[in-house]
Structure 1
């Protein structure tokens, strides 16, 4: 009887695992695989296939693809290089030296990634905009400083803004790698009389090389897929990247060409990330964690302690504090040329008056902005909940049932959105759900489309959160409940969720922040009936209403920082580079 019961139990578990894996795979296929395939199939239809030749070999190919591709590569390489240099320098200071105020430097180094990239771009324009295009000039031009075009517009300011946004990502990756460097190697070199520079170049640098490549790859991918900075600083002078060209094609109704450019952008990003992963995976000879050794003595900077601190502090203030101050000041100043004089609260609480801002009321009395704030908040909450639930289901299935091709497919598909730039993902969802499918109506312009696309796009982060939650719960507890006959949902509701609720809430908050501050994904899904804050800020900036754009961005910025800090506090994860 016991043998029969044991076999019956194993068959039940196997059946539950099969059903769970197939259900999870179906959900991921509907959310991720089909939108991407649908985009490709759309461009292969008889009346659309000509778009491929137009983009790749046609008379307009240089302007449609090759010039934007060149600008995109230059941006990606430049941003990846600068981010590794800046993030690596700060990570080395915080983790491996006795520089003063290491904790403060570490906190400020992680802050820029909480700030939307379009916020930094708007702040740059408020400071450095010149009179080339007419309209308001920036603060420095207002003081009488002549700003050259190369600083105000185009490739250089876009590269700088994106580097200021993504260097904190490189800092986090490199700092984590430096914190695991085997102290025995450094101690041995110090005993042998090796100097700091020789230790850094001969031991530390080779050990963290995989982290450097990983950081460069992610920063490169972020730069080539970014839409906000190239659109705000490049489009006014016709500097196109693949992301802005994709947006432009769909905006003017040439969707076939837009989908082709989107597919090529996805392919380009995926190939580069694959190459970076190949480089990292090929370097397997560096074991940095052993069972021996403690924290090595930090490099003594001696007389360079305060000069290096000053360099780091000046850079971090310029990258984090200055943009926030500029955005706040600009939301009160009548003109960007006079940021700190004649302030007015009209852009926040003013009523509509014909002789001021073309009759546009302030945020508090602007029904479009209030509606966008409510929709954005509801979108963030909806994506946070749906994303966390699907991410937890995916992570659970991949962790508990690892064997078979279905489990492998679930793992690979769940991280596929990381290879897809946000604007290309938004274009895929327009092709996928923008028209009726059988009995299902078109979802373009609906709240449901925003939630579904946002959930799918942020699924890799949801899965990572789900894995972190599962790690907090011992498998023995679940195994005991399974032996007593508890099903999947009973085990999740009675064991996993109560024990890991803090981690789940923290993960949901981070997903909330990511979708609220995102512009690339939602810029193509935006409609007047379904506005979101980030796109509304971009629209105001594009139409010359800089103060309104900056005021909206301040709201998004405050919301992002407050929720991010709350999530970090809930997670309560130790950061080794901040330890004493």
Structure 2
């Protein structure tokens, strides 16, 4: 009798609404995210590879293998995150809370740097500041007669500058959104009490925006320590290593075990700092600034400082957005970086193979390798946009409609796990996961399928966030009515949810498309000559001294990124509160 009762209860749990769907989603996420990371750890614990742990962490090689790259990585993370919070916070304060001239222009330009791939900014820096330390062409400034010191041309300083100018856009977006919610009553109460502008800023505004500052700093830190392209282009020529470049180097030379150990340590470091950021604000609950009482916007009057502060803001924004684009475009036509704005030629775009130019390399239009890479990149972007949005929408639907229970909690945690994993470490995990045969399934290394699966898993957090926004647009009562009439899950999704939220789905798909076509960290280890990707091809050309081709390819990627991002923003029609006040 007891066994029968347990059997009946088990069936009730199994056939409870949403259980099958939740289990299906959980299995998909485990296959895409958990197993690759677990396979990487297990690989390093095998008898013939476990020595890699002692090699990396406790041998005579450890200093160069791990500890020096770790020091550089942490320095980059701390300096870049601090700089991003300062610059992003300054611009957000100007746009949201002051009467600075051309607020909308500053606000729009401040969101653009994150659209530009970090390797594009690194290539632009090299085109301008490169000196003759490592041979090859010198940059425009040295070619113009200026003596560029090594510390400005290569190594840690240019890496810090480029990454800060790339990631401050992320900090701006987060901090500006938080400042837009600060109730003006708080500011007015401080003014009535006699507080001046600086006192209000330090004593009222900064404390209530602490969560945004911490979140911005944590995300910028995680992005900086995991970035591969910038330290590779600006640091590797002078043997400056970070954990990401060291990981790449180990796997490139076949020391896979050591590479995986470095990758695991990189994941742990990123996870610790993100956890510490969340922990720093989790113990306090007095950050609320939105209440039932409305308040009108209150801006600081900058008076005589309006135009000087505007000039400072535009200098930062011009250096991070306008200058890199101009430099890359000009370099794709210039015969050399030292003569950037003279004797232009279209050879690097439309030229045939000529022995006396670039060692016979044909321009983009006639270069079969580049054209193949363009086709693979576009196909990859479209495939990942489709698969990512399907899985993201399915995951978001499950969490929105069936949010209770242990399974839902596990889905939530796993779906956002890739945010803790640097792209290059995630790529390494997929080599360990699908790079060798699994039972009857063949190895996928070097195939298009591996690129699609790895990219879909890596971008899943963004897919889920977009899916959540889509699901929130559709009232649950519509689906409930359809369910009562006998419509199944697939019918409800295809006939109700997706048609009603098609604009949001399209916008989310485009943003995922943009993220993967400009990504280098994830695909640099998955790249093969038979399955080339534009970003890696550009990196290879730059590493081999063909800067014009690298810059021309980057211009193509940049154009695709900006155009498709603008289309996505138009589809979403998202209001930016700091621009609407």
* 1:107-122 to 2 correspondences below 5 Å: 107-122=108-123
Does the Cα contact within 8 Å between 2:85 and 2:216 map onto a contact in 1? Answer: yes
- Aligned residue in 1 for 2:48: 47
* 1:40-439 to 2 correspondences below 5 Å: 40-439=41-440
Q: Distance in 1 between matches of 2:183 and 2:69?
A: 44
Change (3 A) 1:250 1:66: same
- Aligned residue in 1 for 2:488: 487
Does the Cα contact within 8 Å between 2:419 and 2:461 map onto a contact in 1? Answer: yes
Q: Distance in 1 between matches of 2:507 and 2:13?
A: 34
Superposition RMSD in Å: 1.4
Q: Distance in 1 between matches of 2:16 and 2:286?
A: 41
Deviation at 1:11, TM superposition (A): 6.2
- Aligned residue in 1 for 2:536: 535
Q: SS at 1:310's partner residue? A: helix
Aligned pairs, how many? 573
Deviation at 1:13, TM superposition (A): 10
Q: Distance in 2 between matches of 1:41 and 1:297?
A: 57
- Aligned residue in 1 for 2:18: 17
Q: Distance in 2 between matches of 1:260 and 1:287?
A: 42
Q: Distance in 2 between matches of 1:153 and 1:336?
A: 16
Does the Cα contact within 8 Å between 1:126 and 1:330 map onto a contact in 2? Answer: yes
- Aligned residue in 1 for 2:36: 35
Deviation at 1:295, TM superposition (A): 2.5
- Aligned residue in 1 for 2:7: none
Deviation at 1:23, TM superposition (A): 0.4
- Aligned residue in 1 for 2:471: 470
Does the Cα contact within 8 Å between 1:184 and 1:296 map onto a contact in 2? Answer: no
In the TM superposition, what whole-angstrom CA distance separates every residue of 1:364-423 from its partner, at most 9, and x where no partner exists?
Answer: 000000000000000000000000000000011111111211111000000000000000
Q: Distance in 1 between matches of 2:209 and 2:348?
A: 48
Does the Cα contact within 8 Å between 1:139 and 1:336 map onto a contact in 2? Answer: yes
Does the Cα contact within 8 Å between 2:13 and 2:19 map onto a contact in 1? Answer: no
In the TM superposition, what whole-angstrom CA distance separates every residue of 1:422-452 from its partner, at most 9, and x where no partner exists?
Answer: 0000000000000000000000000000000
In the TM superposition, what whole-angstrom CA distance separates every residue of 1:147-206 from its partner, at most 9, and x where no partner exists?
Answer: 110000001100100001000000000000000012111121223332111111110010
Q: Distance in 1 between matches of 2:317 and 2:228?
A: 24
Does the Cα contact within 8 Å between 1:186 and 1:296 map onto a contact in 2? Answer: no
Runs of 4+ in 1 over 3 A off after TM superposition: 10-16
- Aligned residue in 2 for 1:564: 565
Q: Distance in 1 between matches of 2:410 and 2:119?
A: 35
Deviation at 1:517, TM superposition (A): 0.2
Q: SS at 2:18's partner residue? A: helix
Deviation at 1:286, TM superposition (A): 1.5
Deviation at 1:353, TM superposition (A): 0.7
* 1:446-461 to 2 correspondences below 5 Å: 446-461=447-462
- Aligned residue in 1 for 2:516: 515
Q: SS at 2:494's partner residue? A: helix
Does the Cα contact within 8 Å between 2:14 and 2:20 map onto a contact in 1? Answer: no
Deviation at 1:294, TM superposition (A): 2.0
Q: Distance in 1 between matches of 2:413 and 2:463?
A: 14
Q: Distance in 1 between matches of 2:529 and 2:433?
A: 21
Q: Distance in 2 between matches of 1:531 and 1:479?
A: 47
Does the Cα contact within 8 Å between 1:214 and 1:280 map onto a contact in 2? Answer: no
Q: Distance in 2 between matches of 1:520 and 1:463?
A: 21
Q: Distance in 2 between matches of 1:196 and 1:281?
A: 29
Q: Distance in 1 between matches of 2:471 and 2:13?
A: 22
- Aligned residue in 1 for 2:576: 575
Deviation at 1:14, TM superposition (A): 4.5
Q: SS at 1:276's partner residue? A: helix
Q: Distance in 1 between matches of 2:530 and 2:260?
A: 24
Deviation at 1:247, TM superposition (A): 0.1
> TM-score if structure 1 supplies the norm length?
0.97
Q: Distance in 2 between matches of 1:546 and 1:125?
A: 9
The runs of 5 or more residues in structure 1 that have no matched partner are 1-9
Does the Cα contact within 8 Å between 1:187 and 1:296 map onto a contact in 2? Answer: no
- Aligned residue in 1 for 2:5: none
In the TM superposition, what whole-angstrom CA distance separates every residue of 1:334-375 from its partner, at most 9, and x where no partner exists?
Answer: 000010000000000000011111000000000000000000
